[in-house]
């Protein structure tokens, strides 16, 4: 458990730092997952893998027509029984039971502020990595709140924000030739039930485990680590992911 966290120590049920990867079984077949900014590579990739796993998925975009086109293109790459659709971000936020934020960093705050109402009461998974690029490569951008996930939590006070899916390559997610992703997804948050659910959701991706990795306040270094993986990928011409050992 996090050091000096007396409330978690006195109430194990509220402590997200469990020795098990997930503590409960989760059925996602009747739960709609929405992907805001789902027409980008990361959003489409996550939508594709989740729909292929049997989860009903809605792809969101500022342009409903563009979202519908992206959903149709993704559907062509997966089995006939997959349920995937596209709509405007507002409709996705209002309809979905659980929402993944995969928008560009530049529009992150404004979009979430505009959707605070329909996202109230829902688990919101933030996978946004604030990064910049120059002639020396990728570097983390400063975020006043500490991380993109913490910014989301600030502007969505009535939602439960969890950080996850930061390091899964969009190229790998979209590649139909890649059957097993063979990596772990770090899951960060302050609500035990929410992090358990997101760990289970990550586990639906083939070859993936969801690993609890700390409170939401620790999400900054997880987002920034993506810059290191970009450097690995450029040097070794790879699509690197992470594995946590001895867990």
Pick the CATH number of 29-236 from 3.30.479.30, 3.40.50.970, 3.40.50.300, 3.40.50.720: 3.40.50.720
pLDDT of residue 80: 79
Pairing of the two strands 33-36 and 183-187: unpaired
The alpha carbon of residue 209 and the mean position of all alpha carbons in its chain are separated, in whole angstroms, by 13
CB 93 within 8 A of CB 120: no
Angle between helix 41-52 and helix 64-75 axes, rounded to 10 deg: 50
Q: Which residues contact 1 (CB under 8 A, 6 or more apart)?
A: 8, 9, 15, 17
Question: Which residues of the chain register pLDDT less than 50?
Answer: 1-19, 23
Compute the Cα dihedral for 43, 16, 161, 99 and give only its sign: positive
pLDDT of residue 22: 54
pLDDT of residue 245: 97
Q: CA 187 → CA 17, 58, 74, 83, 162, distances in Å?
A: 11, 22, 26, 25, 7
> What pTM does this model have?
0.90
- Measured CA to CA, the distance from residue 214 to residue 188 in angstroms comes to 5
pLDDT of residue 24: 55
pLDDT of residue 11: 40
pLDDT of residue 63: 97
pLDDT of residue 118: 98
Q: CA 10 → CA 1, 4, 189, 190, distances in Å?
A: 11, 11, 19, 15
């Amino acid at each position: 458990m996090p050091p000096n966290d007396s409330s978690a120590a006195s109430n194990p049920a509220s402590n997200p730092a469990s020795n098990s990867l997930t503590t409960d079984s989760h059925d996602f077949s009747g739960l709609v997952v929405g992907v805001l900014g789902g027409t980008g590579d990361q959003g489409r990739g996550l939508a594709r893998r989740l729909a292929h796993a049997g989860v009903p998925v809605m792809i969101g975009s500022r342009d409903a027509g563009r979202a519908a086109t992206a959903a149709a293109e993704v559907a062509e790459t997966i089995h006939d029984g997959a349920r995937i659709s596209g709509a405007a971000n507002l409709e996705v936020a209002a309809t979905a039971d659980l929402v993944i934020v995969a928008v560009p960093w530049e529009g992150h705050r404004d979009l979430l502020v505009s959707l605070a109402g329909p996202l109230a009461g829902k688990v919101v998974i933030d996978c946004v990595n604030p990064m910049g690029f120059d002639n020396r490569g990728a570097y983390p951008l400063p975020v006043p709140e500490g991380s993109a996930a913490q910014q989301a939590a600030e502007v969505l006070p009535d939602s439960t924000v969890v950080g996850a899916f930061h390091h899964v390559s969009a190229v790998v997610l979209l590649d139909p030739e890649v059957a097993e992703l063979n990596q772990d997804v770090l899951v960060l948050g302050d609500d035990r039930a929410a992090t358990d659910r997101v760990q289970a959701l990550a586990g639906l991706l083939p070859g993936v485990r969801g690993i609890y990795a700390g409170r939401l306040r620790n999400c900054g270094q997880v987002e920034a680590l993506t810059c290191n993986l970009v450097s690995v990928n450029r040097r070794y011409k790879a699509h690197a992911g992470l594995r946590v050992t001895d867990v």
